[in-house]
């Protein structure tokens, strides 16, 4: 049985661009680490300049969302596109990716710098990490 997750990728106005359903490896050391690996090296910008590559730049959150999907989809099954803001897919974790606000120290979009995940079965855990400072809040149902 897989550890299912949903990932909501948001734009600058907090609208959901895409929701990704992952059938297995949805836990933080699976999907969470994959999101970090995909997004951490990227800078978020508007317009492609010299030196921009798929590995180091995302031309807006739509480009970042496409990069996440392309990196995750390596075989038939497991990773699917859902209706934006989909819920109730038997998910155990929900990840939300948002662009960092312009007052942040870095214009990059590392997945754990402005991402959160929620464990939705039996207890709720929210992890937010900003500028390498991590806090955890746990709330039992």
Min mean pLDDT across 52-56, 92-96, 114-118 is at 114-118
Alpha-carbon distance of 141 to 132, in angstroms, equals 29
Domain residue ranges of the chain, discontinuous segments joined by +: 5-140
* CA nearest to 9, candidates 27, 21, 24, 25: 21
Tokens of 56: 């180091």
Poorest-confidence range of 42-46, 70-74, 126-130?
126-130
**What pLDDT digit, counting tens, does each position of 34-52 carry?**
999 998 888 888 888 788 8
Provide the pairing of β-strand 57-59 with 43-45: parallel
Confidence (pLDDT) at 132: 29
pLDDT digits (tens, 9 = 90+) for 101-116: 655 444 334 333 445 5
Q: How confident is the model at residue 130 (pLDDT cuts 50, 70, 90)?
A: very low
- Look at residues 34, 120, 14, 125 and name the one whose alpha carbon lies nearest to residue 79: 34
Q: Which residue bears the tokens 């897989």?
A: 2
Q: Strands (DSSP E) along the chain, which ranges?
A: 5-10, 16-22, 43-45, 57-59, 79-82, 93-97, 115-119, 123-130, 133-140
Contacts of 38 (CB under 8 A, 6+ apart): 67, 68, 71, 72, 111
Q: Which of 67, 75, 63 lies closest to 22 in space, CA to CA? A: 75
Q: Is residue 6 a contact partner of residue 20, using CB atoms and an 8 Å limit?
A: yes
């Amino acid at each position: 049985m897989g550890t299912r997750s949903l990932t909501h990728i948001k734009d600058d106005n907090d609208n959901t661009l895409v929701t990704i359903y992952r059938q297995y490896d949805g836990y933080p050391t699976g999907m969470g680490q994959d999101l970090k690996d995909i997004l951490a090296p990227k800078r978020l910008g508007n317009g492609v300049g010299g030196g921009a590559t798929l590995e180091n730049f995302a031309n807006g959150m739509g480009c970042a969302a496409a990069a996440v999907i392309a990196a995750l989809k390596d075989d038939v099954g497991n990773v699917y596109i859902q209706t934006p803001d989909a819920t109730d897919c038997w998910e155990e974790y929900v990840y939300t990716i948002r662009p960092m606000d312009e007052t942040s120290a870095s214009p990059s979009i590392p997945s754990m710098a402005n991402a959160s995940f929620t464990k939705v079965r039996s207890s709720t855990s929210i992890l937010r990490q900003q500028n390498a400072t991590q806090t955890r809040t746990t709330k039992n149902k």
